């Protein structure tokens, strides 16, 4: 079989992803994407995206995992008020409520062990999950990946700009993204695909700001446009409320619930929103965690360094699966 034939065969064998609404016990409807079929002892990878984005944040990572031969079940979803999910308005758009949604997803719609991965606000949601639902985390979570995120000190984001200019940026940052998201109607989530087709004109207009704010060097135009389009698919009222919740996020101590689990902490050196110091704080709270720093990469490493992110997640999946197999074997021997 030739290389191209092998590639086509791998494409055909890839698990099909289904996308649709799912009603949760929290009273909210989320857009959820599923692929893969669980096997005994095999973990489900659950992916949580960041602020003002949606499940498309993980497009390239999921593609890279499947191309690498990973067949484990993957679930990714839009937070409340983002993408195709129902908006709770201002009062229900908090990281704590997002963690409750994740807990409901895990409890009612995912079987077996779970590997959690969160990008930016998604990583903060994992920390809030550990804080609000420690028993669930202890019983079901077998590993975690914190991707371009923070556990504290998010009240002001100076975007790497020192002095008075940085203070001015920190003040403006609180309203600029909600304002941009409110220009026009909330966009339908199907308008932008991983290759950047069918984008709105306003996303093209926003692209230079997105590129400068959340990408490092050599960003692909398709990726920049996807991030811009995701911003317009979010409810601006929820986006503003979630930003306030991010400013109140102080959950370094909640990481204690994850100590001893296989964990990775990933960050780019040019991340303006959650700089490497934040990643080091998380890694310090989890002494067994692997810290990986990507030179030249910005905040959107799920796009910029998708292959490396996928490789780290694949490593966690394999480690969890092996651990589960060994534990099961020991139990069978004892019995």
Pairing of strands 263-268, 141-147: parallel
User: Does 166 reside within a domain?
Assistant: yes
Mean pLDDT, residues 11-38 taken together: 90
For residue 2, pLDDT over 60 is answered with: no
- CATH code, domain with 302: 3.40.50.1820
Residue 15's pLDDT band, with cuts at 50, 70 and 90, is: confident
Mean pLDDT, residues 136-150 taken together: 98
* pLDDT score at 333: 39
User: Does 90 reside within a domain?
Assistant: yes
Residue 34's pLDDT band, with cuts at 50, 70 and 90, is: very high
Q: How far is CA 159 from CA 12, 162, 206, 247, in A?
A: 43, 9, 17, 14
**Residue 79 class from Cβ within 10 Å (0-12 exposed, 13-18 middle, 19+ buried)?**
buried
* pLDDT score at 176: 59
Give the residue from 181, 146, 160, 331 showing the smallest Cα distance to 251.
146
pTM for the predicted model, two decimal places: 0.87
The domain tally of the chain equals 1
* pLDDT score at 302: 98
Give the residue from 152, 131, 138, 148 showing the smallest Cα distance to 255.
131
Question: In this predicted model, which residue has the larger pLDDT, 181 or 225?
Answer: 225
Give the residue from 57, 67, 55 showing the smallest Cα distance to 301.
57
Question: In this predicted model, which residue has the larger pLDDT, 11 or 205?
Answer: 205
Pairing of strands 44-48, 114-119: parallel
CA distance 335 to 120: 44
* pLDDT score at 155: 76
Buried b (16+ CB within 10 A) or exposed e, 50-77: bbbbbbbbbbbbbebbbeeebebbbbbb
* pLDDT score at 232: 87
Phi, psi of 20 (to 5 degrees): -175, 175
For residue 3, pLDDT over 50 is answered with: no
* pLDDT score at 196: 42
Question: For the ranges 26-35, 159-168, 228-237, 303-312, which has the lowest average pLDDT?
Answer: 159-168
Bridge partners (DSSP) of residue 321 are none
Average pLDDT of the chain, as a whole number: 86
Cβ–Cβ under 8 Å, residues 282 and 265: yes
For residue 139, pLDDT over 90 is answered with: yes
Residue 180's pLDDT band, with cuts at 50, 70 and 90, is: low
| The token pair that represents 219 in the structure block | 């960003």
Mean pLDDT, residues 156-172 taken together: 52
For the stretch 81-96, pLDDT in tens is 999 999 999 899 999 9
Query: Which H or E element spans position 325?
Result: helix 306-334
Q: What sign does the dihedral 209-213-219-221 (CA atoms) show?
A: negative
| The token pair that represents 155 in the structure block | 């009240």
Q: How far is CA 251 from CA 129, 151, 218, in A?
A: 10, 5, 33
Mean pLDDT, residues 194-219 taken together: 78
User: Does 4 reside within a domain?
Assistant: no
Rounded percentage of the chain residues whose pLDDT exceeds 70? 79
User: Does 16 reside within a domain?
Assistant: no
User: Does 49 reside within a domain?
Assistant: yes
Rounded percentage of the chain residues whose pLDDT exceeds 90? 68
Question: For the ranges 47-51, 201-205, 246-250, 329-333, which has the lowest average pLDDT?
Answer: 329-333
Phi, psi of 166 (to 5 degrees): -65, -40
Whole domain around residue 228: which residue ranges? 21-334
CA distance 134 to 132: 6
Question: In this predicted model, which residue has the larger pLDDT, 108 or 322?
Answer: 108
How is 11-69 classified by DSSP, letter by letter? HHHSPPPEEEEEE-TTS-EEEEEEES---TTPPEEEEE--TT--GGGGHHHHHHHHHTT
For residue 168, pLDDT over 70 is answered with: no
| The token pair that represents 88 in the structure block | 């709770």
For residue 285, pLDDT over 80 is answered with: yes
User: Does 112 reside within a domain?
Assistant: yes
* pLDDT score at 206: 84
User: Does 7 reside within a domain?
Assistant: no
Query: Which H or E element spans position 3?
Result: helix 3-13
Question: For the ranges 11-25, 27-41, 126-140, 250-264, which has the lowest average pLDDT?
Answer: 11-25
Cβ–Cβ under 8 Å, residues 159 and 166: yes
Pairing of strands 18-23, 29-35: antiparallel
User: Does 3 reside within a domain?
Assistant: no
| The token pair that represents 111 in the structure block | 């079987």
* pLDDT score at 39: 83
């Amino acid at each position: 079989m030739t290389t191209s034939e092998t590639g086509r065969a791998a494409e055909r064998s890839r698990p099909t992803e289904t996308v649709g609404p799912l009603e949760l016990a929290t009273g909210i409807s989320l857009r959820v994407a599923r692929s893969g079929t669980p096997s005994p002892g095999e973990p489900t990878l659950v992916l949580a995206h960041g602020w003002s984005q949606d499940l498309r944040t993980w497009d390239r990572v999921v593609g890279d995992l499947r191309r690498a031969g990973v067949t484990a079940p993957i679930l990714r979803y839009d937070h409340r008020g983002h993408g195709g999910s129902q908006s709770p308005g201002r009062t229900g758009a908090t990281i704590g409520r997002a963690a409750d949604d994740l807990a409901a997803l895990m409890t009612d719609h995912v079987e077996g062990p779970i590997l959690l991965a969160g990008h930016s606000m998604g990583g903060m949601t994992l920390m809030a999950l550990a804080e609000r639902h420690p028993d669930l985390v202890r019983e079901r979570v077998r590993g975690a990946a914190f991707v371009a995120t923070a556990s504290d000190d998010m009240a002001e984001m100076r975007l790497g700009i020192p002095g008075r200019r940085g203070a001015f940026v920190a003040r403006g940052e609180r309203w600029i993204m909600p304002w941009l998201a409110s220009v026009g109607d909330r966009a339908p989530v199907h308008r932008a695909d991983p290759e950047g087709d069918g984008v709105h004109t306003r996303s093209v207009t926003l692209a230079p700001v997105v590129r400068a704010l959340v990408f490092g060097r050599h960003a692909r135009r398709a990726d920049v446009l996807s991030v811009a389009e995701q911003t317009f698919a979010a409810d601006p009222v929820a986006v503003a409320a979630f930003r306030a919740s991010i400013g109140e996020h102080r959950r370094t101590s909640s990481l204690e619930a994850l100590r001893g689990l296989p964990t990775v902490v990933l960050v780019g050196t040019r991340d303006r929103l959650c700089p490497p110091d934040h990643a080091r704080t998380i890694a310090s709270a989890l002494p067994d965690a692997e810290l990986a720093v990507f030179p030249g990469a910005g905040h959107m490493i799920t796009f910029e360094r998708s292959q490396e992110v996928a490789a780290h997640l694949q490593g966690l999946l394999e480690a969890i699966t092996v651990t589960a197999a060994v534990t099961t074997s020991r139990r069978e021997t004892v019995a």
